[in-house]
Amino acid sequence: MKRTKIYSLLAIAGLFFASCTSDLETEPKYELTLEELLIRDPNAVEGLLSRMYSTFALSSVSGPGDSDIAGANAGESPFIRGLVNLNDFTADGMKNRWGDNGLDQLTTTSGWNSNNKFFKYVYDRIYYTIPQTTNLILILRDRVDVQNEDQYVSELRFLRALSYYYLIDFFGKGPLVNNDTYGSATPLPESSRVELFNFVEAELKDVESKIAPTNTYGRANQAVVQMLLAKLYLNAEVYTGTARYNDAATYASKVITSGNYQLETSFAKNFRADNNTSKEIIFPLIADATSSQSYGNTTYIVNGNLNSTTMNLATYGAAEGWGGHRASKGWYGLFGANASELAASTDVRAKMFWTTGHTFEMNDYKEWTNGYPSIKFSNRNTDGSGNVTAFSSTDFPLFRLSDAYLIYAECALRGASTATVSQGLSYVNLIRARAGATILGSMTLQTILDERGRELGLEGVRRQDLIRYGRFTGGTYLWPWKGGTANGTSISSNYNLFPIPESALQANPNLTQNTGY
């Protein structure tokens, strides 16, 4: 095993949690109450906290064949898989060829409705984590004393805020389960995007001063909280109608100047099985081939981009190639306008596509050889060492320092008084120099959007970026298979939000559907 995992205590915690998929069902079920457990063994708090971190990385602590979400497919329903499906396959850079009902509608940005199982999986995962973390917060705050309690509560509040952040981004509204409303016997009212934003902002700002400046790998610290605030403020104009670029730049600067992180010399190291040693990753979602197995973490990314008939799986440490995912020119086209220009690029990020036997154009997204599989993620170590395993040991880098650099630069261009364009350009050039790309003398907002595409592809942010730039819906920017046509077509503005799942609407009569669905 490559390291001691944060999830090593999950076997204990897993006994005490059960599925909670309806916002009406906010009271978790236990074989032994958590209060009783913590009174008997205060050290069990470590396992319970780990259990909450695991909800972002695993389908269940019972193994890859089980799901926390009642009735959900264990392989399809983990958070990372949902993040990639909803933020990458819906956008310009990645497509899936399987034709699965639900996933096919995502990859073609067409035919979205409230019965799509992949919207439901993400929504249910969010409303699994929120009440569970809230319950633990209340127990630790009001009923049980454990050593270092404030730190545990701060981390739980961060994880709850992280869940709400994705609720805000994906669905725009939902019930607010917090310390005051937890355990309500009646359906909670619907909270607006602005109300949820204000709650998350207040929580994170309070936690910022209470959480530890440093922490063990895979756990939240002060910079992790600050990074989430930077991302929240970066998208505030979309979420609330009021721009907060000054605040986004301020918090990006806090992360950058904390001194805890630096760009890795090797860009690839951030996406290899030894990325737990990367100095650049601010907050990872942990994967391990032995102790934290999942078909929905980076296993989905690595195996999904491989095909055993044309690629050497052992090169990537994979036991299987699922032959499903390929990038389109919406991503690799940022490095060159055609196959020859892509091949000639000096940018190391341009080399992270499998081109042999594949076409630059994606005339048929269901044809494996149309488009280039992404080999950005690998289950091998940076030096090529490691074993072939059924599951990936590569952690998912949810937050990276290069993203903080790009947030700062974008805010500077958007007029933030807390940032300068010259400093932003310096940060962008640090990223480009690391990649072997040409150093820039100036930059525009389009420069930043393109650089985010090159740097952060397949890291669960692309749809969000395109929405912030006004490029996701409408016809201003077209990409292959947008709206279900080969060359792309305009799509309705209601696609800037996903529909509220039908199951949630049935469970809580106070919820209303998003416009256009």
Largest Cα span, the chain: 66
How many structural domains are present in the chain? 1
Q: Is residue 386 part of a domain?
A: no
User: According to the model, what pLDDT value does residue 32 have?
Assistant: 66
Residue whose C-alpha is closest to residue 365's, from 418, 327, 409, 396? 327
CB-based contact 79:55 (threshold 8 Å):
yes
Q: In sequence order, what are the beta bridge partners of 370?
A: 359
User: According to the model, what pLDDT value does residue 18 have?
Assistant: 42
Q: Is residue 340 part of a domain?
A: no
Scan for tokens 């933020």, then name that residue: 87
CATH number at residue 154: 1.25.40.390
Tens digit of each residue's pLDDT (9 = 90 or more) over 379-423: 999 999 999 999 999 999 999 999 999 999 999 999 999 999 999
Measured CA to CA, the distance from residue 93 to residue 88 in angstroms comes to: 7
In one-letter notation, the amino acid at residue 354 is W
Q: Is residue 229 part of a domain?
A: yes
CB-based contact 156:212 (threshold 8 Å):
no
| HSE-CB of 114 using CA atoms within 13 angstroms | 16
The length of the chain, given as a count of residues: 517
Measured CA to CA, the distance from residue 487 to residue 481 in angstroms comes to: 6
Terminal C-alpha separation, the chain? 47
User: In sequence order, which ranges of 177-297 are alpha helices (DSSP H)?
Assistant: 193-208, 222-234, 236-240, 245-257
SS3 35: helix
Give strand ranges (E) for 84-234.
94-96, 174-175, 190-191
Residues of the chain with pLDDT under 50: 1-30
Scan for tokens 């409705």, then name that residue: 113
User: According to the model, what pLDDT value does residue 31 have?
Assistant: 56
CB-based contact 511:137 (threshold 8 Å):
no
Give strand ranges (E) for 31-161.
94-96
Residue 111 backbone class (left: φ over 0; alpha: ψ -120 to 50; beta: rest): left
Q: What is the 3-state secondary structure (H, E, C) of 480-505?
A: CCHHHCCCCCCECHHHHCCCCCHHHH
Measured CA to CA, the distance from residue 333 to residue 342 in angstroms comes to: 7
Q: Is residue 415 part of a domain?
A: yes
User: According to the model, what pLDDT value does residue 319 have?
Assistant: 98
Measured CA to CA, the distance from residue 412 to residue 394 in angstroms comes to: 33
CB burial class (10 A; 0-12, 13-18, 19+) of residue 185? exposed
CB-based contact 224:283 (threshold 8 Å):
yes
- Which residues have C-beta within 8 Å of that of residue 92, sequence separation ≥ 6? 328, 330, 331, 453, 462, 466, 477, 479, 480, 482
Q: In sequence order, what are the beta bridge partners of 94?
A: 327
Which residue segment(s) compose the domain that 428 sits in?
39-285+398-488
Scan for tokens 């937050």, then name that residue: 399
Residue whose C-alpha is closest to residue 389's, from 288, 309, 305? 288
SS3 44: helix
Query: Taking the complete model, does pTM exceed 0.85, yes or no?
Result: yes
Q: Is residue 442 part of a domain?
A: yes
CB-based contact 60:66 (threshold 8 Å):
yes
Tens digit of each residue's pLDDT (9 = 90 or more) over 134-146: 999 999 998 888 9
Scan for tokens 């994906």, then name that residue: 170
Q: Is residue 171 part of a domain?
A: yes
| Paired sense of beta strands 174-175 and 94-96, if any | unpaired
Residue whose C-alpha is closest to residue 100's, from 78, 77, 116? 116
Q: Is residue 508 part of a domain?
A: no
Q: Is residue 184 part of a domain?
A: yes
CB burial class (10 A; 0-12, 13-18, 19+) of residue 348? middle
C-alpha distance from residue 509 to each of 142, 494, 504 (Å): 31, 22, 9
**Element containing residue 281 per DSSP (H, E):** strand 281-285
Identify the DSSP state of 383.
T
CB-based contact 313:321 (threshold 8 Å):
yes
Which backbone phi and psi does 258 adopt, to 5 degrees? -65, -25
Residue whose C-alpha is closest to residue 132's, from 212, 52, 217? 52
CB burial class (10 A; 0-12, 13-18, 19+) of residue 383? exposed
